């Protein structure tokens, strides 16, 4: 199956591959495919279960992401991809001022927020 157009090419991947943890044993998803899966997830914002099959099983990709996040590998990867100008990062921050929020105290002592549009 062909991968969606969100990934990086093999020649670009080689420029950052040396920074990634080594793969051990029988690995279902290679690092290049895994990086492309992460890029797909970042660009689409989809839940893990919606990951296309061409990237491997979503649970396998998620488990590797969880491991790499714990040991700092995803941070190194993100930095390297940006420094090599392989990807660009666009930060979007939704903003809301206090005029759109009404706070109500509930009898149980909890605070609920009602957002007015």
Helix axes 31-44, 10-17, angle to 10 degrees: 100
Q: What is the pTM of this model?
A: 0.68
The C-alpha atoms of residue 108 and residue 115 are separated, in whole angstroms, by: 20
pLDDT at 51 over 80: yes
The C-alpha atoms of residue 47 and residue 111 are separated, in whole angstroms, by: 29
Ramachandran category for residue 49: left, alpha or beta (phi over 0 → left; psi -120 to 50 → alpha): alpha
Helix axes 73-83, 58-71, angle to 10 degrees: 90
| Segment 85-91 mean pLDDT | 69
pLDDT at 70 over 60: yes
Residues 8-49: tens digit of each pLDDT:
888 888 888 888 888 777 777 889 999 999 889 888 888 999
Q: What is the pLDDT of residue 29?
A: 84
Q: What is the pLDDT of residue 98?
A: 57
* pLDDT band with cut points at 50, 70 and 90 for residue 117: very low
Residues 75-86: tens digit of each pLDDT:
888 888 888 887
pLDDT at 109 over 60: no
CB neighbour class for 78 (10 Å; exposed up to 12, middle 13-18, buried from 19)? middle
């Amino acid at each position: 199956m062909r991968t969606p157009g969100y990934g990086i090419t093999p020649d670009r991947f080689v420029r950052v591959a040396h920074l990634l943890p080594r793969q051990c044993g029988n690995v279902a998803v290679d690092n290049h495919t895994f990086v492309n899966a992460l890029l797909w997830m970042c660009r689409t914002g989809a839940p893990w279960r919606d990951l296309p099959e061409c990237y491997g099983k979503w649970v396998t990709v998620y488990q590797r992401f969880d491991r790499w996040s714990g040991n700092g590998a995803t941070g190194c990867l993100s930095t390297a991809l940006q420094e090599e100008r392989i990807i660009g990062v666009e930060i979007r921050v939704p903003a809301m001022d206090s005029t759109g929020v009404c706070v109500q105290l509930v009898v149980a002592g909890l605070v609920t927020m009602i957002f007015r549009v």
